[in-house]
Amino acid sequence: MATLKDIAAATGISTSTISRVLNQDKTISVSPQTQRRIFEAAEALGYVPRGKSRQEAKAPAAGLKMGIAQMFEPDQVMQDPYYLYMKNELEKECFANGIETTTLFRDETGGFTAPGGAQLDGVFAIGSFTTQEIRSFERCSKHVVFVDSTPDDETYFAVVPNFHLGLRQAAARFLETGHRRIAFLGSHYTLQRTRDLLLDARLYYFRNILREKGLFDETYVLDCGAMTSPAAYETLSAALARWEQKPDALFLASDAMVQGAMRALDEAGVRVPQDLSVIAFNDTPNSQNATPPLSAVRVLQHELAVAAVVSMRLCRGSLPHPFKTVVPCLYVERGSVAERK
């Protein structure tokens, strides 16, 4: 039976780090690539957590093999690691349930395929995909669960974060600390459903919540096109130069933009939180490791992964109709929101 030392020898990673990752210790900070190496090695070596027999470890879904597909290509994932972290959480949850996973890749036709063209027991699809891509999933397996998107409520099981709750949490924190000029930085239109460009849910709820309070000001709504660090830097820098009256709070629709946004603020001499309070969405290490660390609305990726595995079990069962699971968000305070008088 494989041990932590065997995994360490195969990966070159310390046994203490391996143990903490396999036990899903949320206080450890390691890259998604390191997490993936650990789980792939553990699976390949047949590692069984202490206190479980191999049969017990695999009992919930013995012998099942699932494919995981991501909407972004590798270079895009590096710009926004949210989906890589989501894939890692899903792989960890599958591992904990004795489910083998494999990554699906795009073929020359633009569809997805499993290594060797193998048939699978199910497919987890992270993000939004075209109709053609969805058909390619169904060629791999008739059981498909979508994570972070809902292409068709009547056909597919899906798990999604509660964007409405997340925006209410951020707005409530700004309002209770006296902010009234609240800006939004993000993409006005994002890929949804079958990769259709639709009004982003975060902007939709931001606009409606502030309108209810009589505080919405279109002047403070910034569209950076792609939610990347370079786009955020250019868009926010231009806005800071033209605003006659600057906002007193800023909501970042994705913390993939944190580095660029913070650079723009620094160059403009805007201090966080003394001059401008900031809350980011997603709460990946981009928010946690910013200077200063940013308060954030956390998408509960572990809970999304748990819900996805449960949904797959139901998808493979005898339920006549699919359903969507909506997972709450969590506001995390780190001191980047200051009281305004």
Cα separation, 290 vs 295, whole angstroms: 10
pLDDT tens-digit map of 6-28: 788 778 888 888 888 877 676 77
CB burial of residue 326 (10 Å; 0-12, 13-18, 19+):
middle
Per residue in 168-224, pLDDT (tens digit) is 999 999 999 999 999 999 999 887 766 777 889 999 999 999 999 999 999 999 999
Only one residue has tokens 């690691």, namely 81
- The residue that leads in pLDDT, 186 or 51, is 186
Say whether pTM exceeds 0.85. no
CA-to-CA separations, 165 to 161, 281, 329, in angstroms, rounded: 9, 12, 7
Domains, the chain, with CATH or none: 1-51 (1.10.260.40), 163-299 (3.40.50.2300)
Backbone angles phi, psi at 238, to 5 degrees: -65, -40
Mean pLDDT of 129-149: 94
Query: Distance of alpha carbon 233 from its chain centroid, rounded?
Result: 22
Q: Running DSSP on this structure, what letter comes out for residue 135?
A: H
Residues 6+ apart with CB under 8 A from 140: 67, 104, 112, 113, 114, 118, 119, 120, 123
Q: Cα separation of 109 and 133, whole Å?
A: 10
